[in-house]
Chain A
Amino acid sequence: MQTDSGQRAQLDVWDLEIEPRNRRFTLNIREVWNYGYLLMMFVRRDIVSVYKQTVLGPLWFFIQPLLTTLTFTIVFGNIAKISTDGLPQTLFYMSGITIWNYFSETLSATSSTFTSNAGIFGKVYFPRLIMPLSKVISGLLKFAIQYLLFIAFLSYFILEGSQVQLDPLGVLIVTPIVLLMMAGMGLGMGLILSALTTKYRDLTFLISFGVQLLMYATPVIYPISTMDARFSWLIEANPLSWLVEAFRKVYLGAGQLSISGLMYSFTFMMVILWVGVLVFNKVEKNFMDTV
């Protein structure tokens, strides 16, 4: 808009061309970047609306992982007596749940992008990718709360003299990497699912079930070391396994910090993210006609 539009009429330059959905891939990173302020506002909205709603709103973030930890401790630790690699059960489960929850929250929040934002998407144009991206970022708040809870428990256990080996350098390096990869994985899968659910609605019901199933295929409630050889290939093929294991290793000292495993996870994440953005991009233009 720097030049006068009269001049540009002769040059036949158009600022915007609206065309049918084309098959070629158009990811406009710059456009997403231009809407950075909107992204910030959505994140802010999510966070503010959570803490403004009820007293129980943010408190629920504490209660949920505590209850899950308690349940897992009773069911898997005490009744089924599944090994925790010699770690205190509470810490073992809590470390898994903390990082796993971030993934599953991201996945479920982004997978409903189209269905839960149909109203706003039908009225205003902005790069649709802003919406799932904002969920990835605002999910960090919930993660932060649960993470602090985990750290509090961890400190308590260390002071009590538990056999826990915290690796401070590892924590500094691994935490952001694992978190970023969890975000990428959740976002990628969420994008694919969000695109699919616009057309095949029944998928919505399968998602929560699928996430649950995926959790059992990930070493959240058991360590990878105790895995039966017959199934270990399955767990090793699961790119999320390496992330959970690495996270546990640097905080608690038990688990596997496998570089090749993390490389595999990273590759997988890039692929799933790429496919996700691709599918999302294809659907975003026309989904209003089907929702």
Chain B
Amino acid sequence: MGAVIQVEHLSKQYRLGLVGTGTLRHDLNRWWHRVLGKEDPYLKIGDVNDRSSKGTSDYVWALKDINFEVPQGEVLGIIGRNGAGKSTLLKVMSRTTAPSIGRIRIRGRVASLLEVGTGFHPELTGKENVYLNGAILGMKKQEIDCKFDEIVDFAGVERYIDTPVKRYSSGMYVRLAFGVAAHLESEILIVDEVLAVGDVEFQKKSLGKMGEVSRNGGKTVLFVSHNMTSIGSLCNKVLVMKDGQVDFHGEVKSGLNHYINNMQHLADTTDLQDILRRLPQDEYFELLGFDMQQEESDGDMYVTHRPIELVFSYRILKPITGLRVGFEVMEKKSELTLFSVFHDDAYQEIIPWSPGVYASRATLDANLLREASYIINLTVCIHNVRWILNGQVKLPLEVRNLVGITALYGFEKRPGYLLPPISWENRSV
């Protein structure tokens, strides 16, 4: 089978910083160079898209010289850390933004799902939204007519199909939206992490639908995900991206191993010192430092089977009553997984604090968090008075289940949001 997608020297440049300041000057400069017949002065391949080191230029390459081919019927998984260029690649492929250099050539009709329910209008009924969304995704009226019953059946919303979707539960909404997307007629399907929606039952159904699509229909699928389990079970090739470049392209198993091994050696990309320096001054409280510690972890990736210690150090500047230091652990898409402040157990903690330097330590037990990319948000407040910090200090927390992947479960991870060790007793009665 020939290639249905061919990516050649694909590069994409973004301008950093505030849009508006200096663009007019740059535009004029560009124009002047063009008049003189020179090259665009800002379009030079130089900086690598590495967020940890500050580039010298205002321009950064989100994608740099990407080359790959996808043969018909292949399910290609695309993985990489946040900012590695996965989403930019998808955006360019689905034509929501143009590349700076290079080209992509595609054979067949492309359906790209960067989001489910694009263009859904709350006032319109389920039926009207199916037609609208289908049209936005490029379907013709006859196609939607044909698939309509199947979509409604898939989503399980027959009874509410003539009700405005604003009265839908979020589950129904997502199911309907995904139903439209899953029934698109196309040779190539580009999917972002839209599968990470809905309840478990529905996720299974969606994954099944996608698998069926790619195996029977000969459909070519590009699938971006953080979820290595679904990549492992759905894809037959994997593309690992790093700093806007292709780091690995090949077999799934070796690709995932490559990715996992690499993650442990990468430096922390979020500079805490930088965040701390830029925090607004507070008259009572100053955050001096924060650290997440785990045995044998280098501070970039954490494992599920060991406890994680969160250490706060801070200075109290003036006597204060009712201080609460805490944190939130959120999964990507800002779903709150866990929230904690000190004195979680009691309510009578309205004790006075005197000025000085303090340290607080919180322990997340081993096997508490499942494998996922989390964001940890530090929260500091004066109880019932005001927030001192909330949202200013957000740090990534990557938790990987190395035990599960290598040993017991293979690429299947244990389902569920939590991984507590449950004690079992088995006896014959």
Chain A interface residues (CB < 8 Å from chain B): 1, 5-6, 8-10, 13-21, 35, 37-38, 40-42, 44-45, 48-49, 52-53, 119-126, 199-201, 285-286, 288-290
A17 touches B118 (CB 8 A): no
Q: Does B419 contact A (CB under 8 A)?
A: no
B124 touches A45 (CB 8 A): yes
Can you give 30 contacting A-B residue pairs, CB < 8 Å?
Answer: A1-B109, A5-B2, A5-B4, A5-B72, A8-B107, A14-B6, A14-B106, A14-B107, A15-B106, A16-B107, A17-B104, A18-B103, A20-B100, A21-B98, A37-B140, A37-B141, A38-B136, A45-B128, A48-B124, A49-B123, A52-B124, A120-B118, A124-B115, A124-B137, A125-B94, A125-B95, A199-B23, A285-B98, A286-B98, A288-B96
A15 touches B96 (CB 8 A): no
Q: Does B97 contact A (CB under 8 A)?
A: yes
Cα distance, A286 to B2, chains bound together (Å): 31
A5 touches B98 (CB 8 A): no
**Interface bracket on B:** 35 or more
Q: Which of B101, B106, B132 contacts A45 (CB 8 A)?
A: B132
B220 to chain A, nearest CB (A): 10
A52 touches B97 (CB 8 A): no
Chain B contacts of A45 at CB under 8 A? 119, 121, 124, 128, 132
A47 to chain B, nearest CB (A): 11
B141 touches A5 (CB 8 A): no
Cα distance, A41 to B136, chains bound together (Å): 9
Q: Does B14 contact A (CB under 8 A)?
A: yes
Taking CB atoms and an 8 Å cut-off, the chain B residues in 18-51 that contact chain A are 19-20, 23-24
Other A-B pairs, 12, CB within 8 Å; known A19-B99, A45-B132, A285-B97: A5-B107, A6-B2, A9-B1, A17-B103, A18-B95, A41-B132, A44-B128, A45-B119, A45-B128, A123-B114, A123-B115, A288-B91
Q: Which residue of A lies closest to B218 (CB)?
A: A5
Q: Does B235 contact A (CB under 8 A)?
A: no
Cα distance, A9 to B99, chains bound together (Å): 24
B13 to chain A, nearest CB (A): 9
A13 to chain B, nearest CB (A): 8
Q: Which of A49, A53, A124 contacts B118 (CB 8 A)?
A: A124
- Closest CB pairs A-B (n = 3): A9-B2, A125-B95, A285-B98
Q: Known A5-B108, A17-B104; judge A290-B19 contact (CB<8 A).
A: yes
